[in-house]
Amino acid sequence: MTKPKIFIVEDEPIIAAFLEQCLLDEGFECLGMAESFEEARQQLMHSKPDLLLLDINLGFGPDGVDLAHFVNQQLNKPFLFVTSNTDSQTLERVKLTNPSGFVMKPFKKLDLITQIELAWHAFQVRTSNTQVDFTSSVLANTHFFIKDKQKLVKLAYSDITYAEACDNYSILHTKDSKFIVSYSLKHVEVKLPAQEFLRVHRSYMVNITQISQINPKSLVLMDGKEIPVSEAHRAELLKRVNLF
CA dist 161 and 207 (Å) reads 5
* Local structure of residue 3 (DSSP, 8 states): P
Mean pLDDT of 193-209: 92
The amino acid sitting at 41 is: R
Determine contact, residues 131/124, Cβ cutoff 8 Å. Answer: no
CA dist 56 and 125 (Å) reads 27
Strand-pair partners of 104: 83
DSSP for 154-192 reads EEEGGGEEEEEEETTEEEEEESS-EEEESS-HHHHHHHS
Is residue 197 scored above 90 in pLDDT? Answer: yes
pLDDT tens-digit series, residues 113-165: 999 998 998 888 776 644 444 544 444 567 877 776 667 778 888 899 999 99
Q: What is the pLDDT of residue 138?
A: 46
CA dist 129 and 167 (Å) reads 18
Please, where in the chain does CATH 3.40.50.2300 lie? 5-128
Please, where in the chain does CATH 2.40.50.1020 lie? 143-240
pLDDT tens-digit series, residues 171-187: 899 988 888 877 788 88
CA dist 155 and 49 (Å) reads 34
Phi and psi angles of residue 43, each rounded to the nearest 5 degrees, phi first: -65, -35
CA dist 174 and 160 (Å) reads 5
**Which fold would CATH assign to domain 5-128?**
Rossmann fold (3.40.50)
Determine contact, residues 18/43, Cβ cutoff 8 Å. Answer: no
Class of the 143-240 domain?
Answer: mainly beta
pTM (predicted TM-score): 0.57
Q: What is the pLDDT of residue 123?
A: 85
For 89: left if phi > 0, alpha if psi spans -120 to 50, otherwise beta; the answer is: alpha
